[in-house]
Chains A and B, each alone.
Chain A
Amino acid sequence: MTNMANAVWVYVEHKSGHPQESSIEVVCEGRRLADQMKAELTVLLFGRSVQDAAAFLGEYGADEVWRAESDDWTYDQPEAYAAVLSALVKEHDPAIFLFPATVSGEDLAFRVAARAKIGISSRCDKLQLGNDGVLLQNRLAYDNRVHLTESFAGGRTRMATVSPGAMKVKKLAQVAAPRVVSLEPVRYLRPEDQRVKVVGFIKADPATIDIRDAEIIVAGGKGVGGTEGFRAITDLAEAVGGAVAGSRMAVDVGAIGKDRQIGQSGKSVSPELLISCGISGANAHTIGMRDAKVVIAINKDKSAPLMKMADLGVVGDFHEIAPVLIERLKELVPQHVRVDEAAKETLL
């Protein structure tokens, strides 16, 4: 191991040994800072089967790759990782330690910062070295209305998470294979550091998922009818693997719960696909769905405001269209992941 006194560290997330795009961006930013500081860039890789990634990361400027592997680490173990990383930080005192600002990256970064008692800026979109070598950490705050520049006093290590998409990816022209250092995580782990063990991921059931997270939504309104009419909505949602939602009218007639209401007094959704059935599209509703990527509207009234917003407008009775559509979808999308099977499926 080289002298760490002036090192830049980057934690890299990966899927089965393939570093994620958001992490590569952080590696490139680490390289840029390390060059300015005339320092070494150390990349930290945790998990299983991370061997292949080392050479790959060299292309983006990693001088050294530290890998920590364990058979128990089929899935990321934030608690254990945090214990190891914070111990390493305390031991080596790097100058800068960066994480990707993904959900899991931040989960880990904040744990490490707290354990090592180091200040951290989250979701930075720009990092600069000030004249006196101080790291200036820039980020948006207050609902993206204010741009803050933060710098920390005291201690040596500066920590930040970096917003995905904020940094440029740049391959090195001349690549030298990085040195690979294998760590022994066991050295740093105490039993109390492994209270939580991640044993798997279960894919969310579109039928129960929060509609704000749904990628496909089938929404019904007054035109669909009451609870009875909504059966067809549920069937259609199942056929396309989408979540059921509706307008306030649908909540009023009791067809769906309040938590599935789209609109001003409900939720704002941004699915990849929204199939909107029997919803005329009053402003109070469209406020909640205008971020949908693709909108298909089915309505008897071709002058309904929602038809104007739709990428595809189908004029007709939903209850005539739905059965045909569902049949056809079943042919085209033969096997849908059902809930019970999804429980066994994993996402990684």
Chain B
Amino acid sequence: MTLHSVQPAAEKLLGMPGSLFGTTLIIAGVALFLVNLSRRLLLLFRSQYDPRFSSLGKRFLALLTDGFLQKKLPRFYPVAGALHIIIFWGFLVLVLRTVELAGVGMKPDFALPFLEGGFGAIYTLVREIFSLLVLLACGGAFYRRAVVKPERYKGSHQGEAYLVLLLIAFLMLSDMTFEGSGLVLDRSAGTGHLGSRAVMLLMSGWSSETLISIRLASYWSHMAGLILFLNLLPFSKHFHVLTALPNVFFRKLTRGEAKPPRWDVPAVEKLQTVGVKSLNDLSWKQILDLYSCTECGRCTDNCPAHAAGRRLSPKMVTMKLRDYGVGGKGGTDGGLPVSGGVITDEEIWGCTTCGSCEEQCPVAVEHVDKIIDMRRYLVGMESRFPCEIENAYRNAEIYGDPQGMGRARRREWASGLKLTELENPGNAEILYWVGCAGAFDERYREVATAFVSLLQKAGVAFSILGSEEGCCGDFARRTGNEYLFQFLARKNIEVLQRFNGKKVVTTCPHCFNALKNEYRQLGCTVEVNHHSEYLLELAGEGRLQIPGGATFSISYHDSCYLGRYNGIYEAPRNLLQLGGAKVVELDRNRERGFCCGAGGGYLWLEEQGKRLNEMRVDNVVAANLEVVATACPFCLLMLQDGIKAREETAGLRVLDIAEFIAEKGGAAP
């Protein structure tokens, strides 16, 4: 260590002992930080209950992979990700150095005991490496912001970002200067590494007075910079330095499960107000989200609504909410309402709840639940929603399906199939949950029929619920009509509980998600399979024979509710491959899959701007294949509609995976 050299704590500064100055500076700086921190925490403590302590093992694992190892950062943004990883790891390494330096300012001859000796030498080398890397990374990051100017930074606080980058770079440089100048003054202490070595080479031969002044100046300016940085944190996006790791730790473990309006009040009719009016209506995790946002814009960069030119930008929603809360007015009820005020109706209604933003967010911000909570307020308290969905609400409430076809007609699609087993749910091996699309949509009935033919071929004794089945409520929940969702869900739960323990298979990922992840909030747990999983299982058991036949290429479009919400990416692909298909990936697939445009209630809403399904068809057309497979009725209908709207797509077919398998010799002779 170089501490026998000129010691800041031992030298006088502004007429007082350096140690007193240092102690005062650090205590005052930390105290000021704590005051501002507690102000931030106030909003956090005023927020709503949110249970986030389950599955600690998973949480620690996520903290390791997504937190400390920064898994998500370089995934789609390798350069920015690498730069951030360097700075982040650099921070971790330099924590120790910072403690050491703080001690140096408060007490002469201060040294951390474990930094003496061998470990100290290794640490010194490592931190010197990271100091230099961080400095270079800051330069790279500065260059990206100033020259490359990625679109996703639009709207972020750029000045603040530059300031912090310069500050970090300055901290690195001042530390190197402090170290290097000390080494010149006392060459017995070592030869330095990298940065400090460079400083040594530069300053060798300079007079002692100059070197002492430089050493002291670099130390105190380093400490001042550090205190400034610390106090900038609560006021800026760099608060994430403190909140991001907790935010990752407390993240939602089941993305498909929308947060109920209030975790502590499961039944919505017991609530006086529903949804988010003021920031105090958010849960503490949702507030932590706001503090954790780094304004990186990956959410917006991958947001289909944003790509279509709608007003929605998930990043701006988070930023606006935070800036409103930090501005001091957000917590009070007297201020602007959050829903339809701070965040406009257009933004709130732009979302398809595809979850792409959350998938991308490196710090586990949950955008979709906030959107749903804001919709809940607009729908439940203000009756403010796009008028075209009113019919769907009314139909679902009265007839049990958004089209208003009625429960009596739920079995109609199967009338030509002459299925005796349909009549006997008690003895069935599985319940096939047909869903409104399978029951009523002219086109999607073909998929339900194909799936049934495969079940029959595999000899599965199955049953449908017929008129006892009702809309799962997904569209109602996603558009903020929690009353309707719970009303529909409770009716279905009553029926499902009669067949307790029976496996349910759905063809619709939206039904699948509601039954699997959301009904448990109302006390119903049921084993649910998506038909992609179930058919694969049947094939694996040898019950379903799928003759492969000639291989040909098809593309596959990922459903958001199957993929991002439930992590089912491979099952449909594997199934297609079993059927002899070579699956050609579309641009934007799997985690980055592009929404068909129908989620979040958009099957019943009118799109503003470009149509998502037509944008998606661009990708399908680019693949230049005859068939695009899907595993979701929404996707199937939307893609089909998008294809119909274009001329050059003649001959392009959209098939459900079940249809593909049935066609490939599954059912047909």
* Contacting residue for A264 out of B388, B394, B398, B443, CB 8 A: B388
Nearest to A145 among chain B residues (CB) is: B398
Judge whether B391 and A282 touch: CB under 8 Å: no
A283/B403 contact (C-beta < 8 A), A252-B645, A305-B443 known:
yes
Judge whether B398 and A282 touch: CB under 8 Å: no
Report Cα–Cα, A264/B440, bound state, in Å: 14
Which of A249, A252, A264, A268 has the most CB atoms of chain B within a 10 A radius of its CB?
A: A264
Judge whether B645 and A282 touch: CB under 8 Å: no
- Asked whether any CB of chain A lies closer than 8 Å to the CB of B641, the reply is yes
Judge whether B391 and A283 touch: CB under 8 Å: no
A265/B398 contact (C-beta < 8 A), A249-B645, A282-B637, A287-B404 known:
no
User: Which A186-231 residues have a C-beta within 8 angstroms of B?
Assistant: 222
Judge whether A282 and B388 touch: CB under 8 Å: no
Judge whether B394 and A143 touch: CB under 8 Å: yes
Report Cα–Cα, A107/B442, bound state, in Å: 43
Nearest to A268 among chain B residues (CB) is: B391
Report Cα–Cα, A281/B442, bound state, in Å: 9
Q: Whole-angstrom distance from the CB of B636 to the nearest CB of chain A?
A: 12
Nearest to A253 among chain B residues (CB) is: B645
Nearest to A305 among chain B residues (CB) is: B442
Judge whether B388 and A222 touch: CB under 8 Å: no
A-contact 0/1 string along B600-613, CB 8 Å cutoff: 00001110000000
Q: Whole-angstrom distance from the CB of A280 to the nearest CB of chain B?
A: 8
B residues near A280, Cβ cutoff 8 Å: 644
How many chain B residues have a CB neighbour from A under 8 Å?
18
Q: Whole-angstrom distance from the CB of A266 to the nearest CB of chain B?
A: 8
A264/B442 contact (C-beta < 8 A), A282-B637, A287-B403 known:
no
Report Cα–Cα, A143/B605, bound state, in Å: 22
A residues near B388, Cβ cutoff 8 Å: 264-265
Report Cα–Cα, A283/B440, bound state, in Å: 8
- Asked whether any CB of chain A lies closer than 8 Å to the CB of B441, the reply is yes
A264/B641 contact (C-beta < 8 A), A143-B394, A283-B403 known:
no
Q: Whole-angstrom distance from the CB of B90 to the nearest CB of chain A?
A: 53
Nearest to A306 among chain B residues (CB) is: B442
* Contacting residue for B641 out of A281, A282, A286, A308, CB 8 A: A282
A-contact 0/1 string along B421-449, CB 8 Å cutoff: 00000000000000000001111000000
Report Cα–Cα, A265/B637, bound state, in Å: 15
Nearest to A263 among chain B residues (CB) is: B388
Q: Whole-angstrom distance from the CB of A143 to the nearest CB of chain B?
A: 7
> A-B contact count, CB below 8 Å?
37
Q: Whole-angstrom distance from the CB of A313 to the nearest CB of chain B?
A: 15
Nearest to A264 among chain B residues (CB) is: B604
Nearest to A261 among chain B residues (CB) is: B606
B residues near A287, Cβ cutoff 8 Å: 391, 403-404
Report Cα–Cα, A249/B640, bound state, in Å: 13
Report Cα–Cα, A222/B404, bound state, in Å: 25
* Contacting residue for B442 out of A143, A252, A283, CB 8 A: A283
A residues near B443, Cβ cutoff 8 Å: 282-283, 305
A222/B644 contact (C-beta < 8 A), A264-B388, A265-B388 known:
yes
B residues near A282, Cβ cutoff 8 Å: 442-443, 637, 641
Nearest to A287 among chain B residues (CB) is: B403
Q: Whole-angstrom distance from the CB of A269 to the nearest CB of chain B?
A: 13
Report Cα–Cα, A283/B342, bound state, in Å: 37
Report Cα–Cα, A287/B637, bound state, in Å: 15
Report Cα–Cα, A286/B441, bound state, in Å: 10
A264/B441 contact (C-beta < 8 A), A252-B645, A283-B403, A287-B404 known:
no
Q: Whole-angstrom distance from the CB of B183 to the nearest CB of chain A?
A: 73
B residues near A283, Cβ cutoff 8 Å: 403, 440-443, 637
Nearest to A258 among chain B residues (CB) is: B606
A-contact 0/1 string along B8-44, CB 8 Å cutoff: 0000000000000000000000000000000000000
Report Cα–Cα, A288/B398, bound state, in Å: 17
User: Which B602-636 residues have a C-beta within 8 angstroms of A?
Assistant: 604-606
Report Cα–Cα, A249/B614, bound state, in Å: 13
B-contact 0/1 string along A246-266, CB 8 Å cutoff: 000100100000000000110
A residues near B604, Cβ cutoff 8 Å: 264-265
User: Which B367-406 residues have a C-beta within 8 angstroms of A?
Assistant: 388, 391-392, 394, 398, 403-404
Report Cα–Cα, A185/B329, bound state, in Å: 64
Report Cα–Cα, A282/B441, bound state, in Å: 8
B-contact 0/1 string along A284-303, CB 8 Å cutoff: 10110000000000000000
Report Cα–Cα, A284/B440, bound state, in Å: 11
Nearest to B614 among chain A residues (CB) is: A252
Nearest to A249 among chain B residues (CB) is: B645
Q: Whole-angstrom distance from the CB of A145 to the nearest CB of chain B?
A: 7
B-contact 0/1 string along A137-151, CB 8 Å cutoff: 000000101000000
Which of A222, A280, A281, A284 has the most CB atoms of chain B within a 10 A radius of its CB?
A: A284
Report Cα–Cα, A308/B445, bound state, in Å: 14
Judge whether A265 and B442 touch: CB under 8 Å: no
Q: Whole-angstrom distance from the CB of B648 to the nearest CB of chain A?
A: 15
Report Cα–Cα, A252/B394, bound state, in Å: 27
B residues near A265, Cβ cutoff 8 Å: 388, 604-606
A residues near B644, Cβ cutoff 8 Å: 222, 249, 280
B-contact 0/1 string along A1-34, CB 8 Å cutoff: 0000000000000000000000000000000000
User: Which A115-146 residues have a C-beta within 8 angstroms of B?
Assistant: 143, 145
Q: Whole-angstrom distance from the CB of A256 to the nearest CB of chain B?
A: 16
Nearest to B641 among chain A residues (CB) is: A282
Nearest to A266 among chain B residues (CB) is: B388
Nearest to B606 among chain A residues (CB) is: A265
Report Cα–Cα, A145/B403, bound state, in Å: 18
Report Cα–Cα, A50/B574, bound state, in Å: 81
User: Which B627-669 residues have a C-beta within 8 angstroms of A?
Assistant: 637, 641, 644-645
A264/B391 contact (C-beta < 8 A), A281-B442, A282-B637, A283-B403 known:
yes
Q: Whole-angstrom distance from the CB of B156 to the nearest CB of chain A?
A: 35
With A143-B394, A222-B645 given, name 14 new contacts (CB 8 A): A222-B644, A249-B644, A249-B645, A264-B391, A265-B388, A265-B605, A268-B391, A282-B443, A283-B443, A283-B637, A286-B442, A287-B391, A287-B404, A308-B442
16 A-B residue pairs with Cβ-Cβ distance under 8 Å, sorted by A, are: A222-B644, A249-B644, A264-B604, A265-B604, A265-B605, A265-B606, A268-B391, A282-B443, A282-B641, A283-B403, A283-B440, A286-B442, A287-B391, A287-B404, A305-B443, A308-B442
What are the nearest 3 A-B pairs in CB distance? A305-B442, A265-B606, A283-B441
